[in-house]
Amino acid sequence: MNAGLTKEFIQKIPKTDLHLHLDGSLRLPTLIELARRARVKLPSQTADGLCRLVFKKNYRNLGEYLRGFGLTCAVLQAPENLERVAFELAEDCLAEGVRYIEVRFAPQLHCHDRLNIEGAVTAVCRGLARAQRAHNRSRAVQNDADLPFHFGVILCALRAFTATTAPYYAQLFSVMPYAPRRQVFAAASLEIARAAADLAHRCDLPVVGFDLAGEEAGYPAEHHAAAYQLAHRHFIRKTVHAGEAYGPESIFQAITECHANRIGHGTFLFAADMIRNPAVGDPQAYVRHLAEYIASQRINIEVCLTSNLQTVPQMKRFSDHPLKQMLAHSLSVSINTDNRLVSHTTVCHELELAATHFDIQRHQFRNLVIAGFKGSFFPGTYTEKRAYVRRVIDRYEALERELLPLAM
């Protein structure tokens, strides 16, 4: 592993996961059990069978990658199931040394006559809070040998998605039968933005951000500008899936139309050849100015290496990912899992990939780890966040001295 980093060191250092989808991060045994209880038909009743048929390590395209979400969302239609899955996710993160997570999900995919948006969000927060209490009351945390665990929840709006079987969307399409598809999803985004604004300032629900996910190409972020403007007016922090399946213009829209504080993926930030606007006379200059703006404003890029390799046909190997280019432009970059189940990954694994495939120096690796904490939408005050980050840095440096004595 480059820079003299070790698996033990990566396991022990405090870590974050800022781009973490709840419905893509279930434990397989839990999915099988919940499906049996809810009478959801699975392609296989065994973990090995599901990995062979659905949750693969290599996918042919984005459509195949997204197939599993139909199954996971189908078993997450009850508050007790949402709570359990959130609790288990926090447990899994804690077990590998992750001390701060932001769990994102689209509540409208789980809503029906017996469960509204607030109920879905409350159930997820309840599960995460249970894991938080258990960890933060542990002897190690009480003796300052370990860091407290914190979490936030990000509510996702959707640009579009193929399946319309979710009751909420089925009803919305029925009351807007003649509206363009993009207008229907924009209306749903506005409602979830209102919910985020209502819930974000409740002390018992750490709703920390608003996101836009789903099909990117053909569904520009500007269609959801009204929802983001509402979130912006209510001091909600904002992230946008952008530059994952479309070029730099998508990232530009996320920043200018949606006031994005962070960018999800940003894989095609430097792809000047993907610019389609004829008004852009010099695509290379456009990309250069965009990258410089993102760097200067410390807009964090939520990089997800494994899932990008699985869903972007142009990427054949990890070295094709622009992570090294992002670091060369002094961008604020965090390393994330995206979907722990669907991508068969962990934060430790993603950091090991970064250290192995990109010739990253030790100080760059440190910046990647700390950027996750600095770029977080921490649920406390800014003063509390700074104090927490300081503790993280102190812990990181102590472990570096202990486990990497030849640090340069």
Residues with a catalytic annotation lie at: 244
**Measured distance CA(372)–CA(388) in Å, rounded:** 12
CA of 312: how far to CAs of 44, 286, 343, in Å?
27, 23, 13
Q: Which two tokens stand for residue 252?
A: 């530009």
CB-count burial class (<10 Å; 0-12, 13-18, 19+) for 389: middle
Residue type, 323: L
Strand ranges, E, within 161-319: 207-213, 237-242, 262-265, 300-303
CB-count burial class (<10 Å; 0-12, 13-18, 19+) for 316: exposed
Q: How many helices (H) and strands (E) does the chain have?
A: 17, 8
**Measured distance CA(379)–CA(407) in Å, rounded:** 33
**Measured distance CA(243)–CA(199) in Å, rounded:** 29
Decide: 369 and 15 in contact? Cβ < 8 Å: yes
> Residue 398's CB: how many other CB atoms inside 10 A?
11
Decide: 75 and 35 in contact? Cβ < 8 Å: yes
CB-count burial class (<10 Å; 0-12, 13-18, 19+) for 13: buried
DSSP-derived secondary structure for 374-408: HTS--SS-HHHHHHHHHHHHHHHHHHHHHH-TT--
